[in-house]
Amino acid sequence: MYIENAAQAQVAVSFLPKLNSTLSLPLVERCGGIEGFFRERGQAFDAACRECRVEPGIFDRGHALQEALRELQTMERHGIHLCTIEDGMYPELLRHCEDVPLILYHKGNMSARAEDKFLAVVGTRKASARCQERVGKVLNELCGMGHRPVVVSGLAYGIDASAHRASLKCGLPTWAVCGIGLHTVYPSSHKALAESILSDSGALISEFPCGATVHPGNFLRRNRIVAGLCHATLVAESALKGGSMATARVALSYNREVMAFPGRPDDAYSAGCNLLIKENVAALVENGLDVARILGYPEKRVQPQQAQLDLFGEEGQKHSVLTILEREGEVHIDELQARTGIGVGELSAVLLQLELEGKIMGTKGQRYARTL
């Protein structure tokens, strides 16, 4: 079986769904790795499959290798990269989950430090304005305490998009796990959001090749990656059924922390959160300090004047930002920080508060301008 290079074999894994899972790792290791799986032939391959209690006929390796060649060309055109479970770049927390992909496609920056905390934020697509603001407030408070978790979500409407946007505004890294190939963005209306994530040193991740079609089952499958990447999952707002509830249960099965915002008893889109709390599946959280404790950050209370800034902003600092924007027009956050002398975390909090007040707006590439 002719293989041009190791990358071809790695990509070919994604065209064999019954192979692209750590459940198949014993077979891959028995063959000497991913490339060895595609090079193994005849009786040796059949013996390896039998030893791992797998029927050899379920793998059309030749077809997968042909598809991989076409996929590699598409990946090059769209700047898509690949990491495998054999690579050091493969996310460490995900590596220990029993049913996750052997390969991941990605764009952007997937590098992480050993001490980094990963927080999944998930919820309904029909998110209330109140809960979207709540997500932003919690992330802002974490930033104000000096914590910088990597915020992971699914780029969907509602809570997912709010989590990504709030992370960008607070200067937190954010990763989006997609349920489709990375040659496109779904939903298409989030293309600008996806570009902002990439331009701000975040990442787009998928287990699906570019040829994969949009299918509801793919979005349920990506939820296990969202949960598996993270130390903890926060369910911000959810009905009794839906992808967020599934993500919470998957996180629990991975022995990860689960949190939820409590909601009104008569609110259908809080019923799922309330149930998770009632069943002791999720810890009740109300603010950034609660989330920080569950993520395992060292206790670090915000000073009173800092807390005032995080929630409301000091008038002097807000005045300085507004004065610069009125005089200069559109200004990058780095220039604002240099001109005002405000710390990065404090400045992110001031900018978020000014946006909530409708006095400024964020533009492309972490630039800000006064509203008309």
* Domains by residue range for the chain, with CATH: 6-108 (no CATH), 118-295 (3.40.50.450), 304-370 (1.10.10.10)
Q: What is the pLDDT of residue 4?
A: 81
Find the length of the chain: 372
Q: How far apart are CA 94 and CA 254, in angstroms?
A: 10
Using an 8 Å Cβ cutoff, are 105 and 181 in contact?
yes
Which string of DSSP letters, residue by residue, matches 119-169? Answer: EEEEE-SS--HHHHHHHHHHHHHHHHTT--PEEEE---TTHHHHHHHHHHH
Chain mean position to CA 11: 22
Supply φ then ψ for residue 331, to 5 degrees.
Answer: -135, 140
**According to the model, what pLDDT value does residue 347 have?**
85
Report pLDDT for 314.
61
Q: What angle do CA 163, 226, 37 make, to 5 degrees?
A: 150
pLDDT given at position 226: 97
pLDDT at 312: 38
Residue with tokens 């059924």: 241
Across the chain, which has 372 residues, the per-10-residue mean pLDDT values are 83 88 88 92 91 90 94 96 92 91 95 92 94 94 93 96 94 95 94 95 95 84 95 97 94 96 92 95 94 89 41 66 82 81 81 86 87 75
| Spatial contact of 204 and 195, defined as CB atoms under 8 Å apart | no
Give the pair of three-digit tokens for residue 83. 């990491």
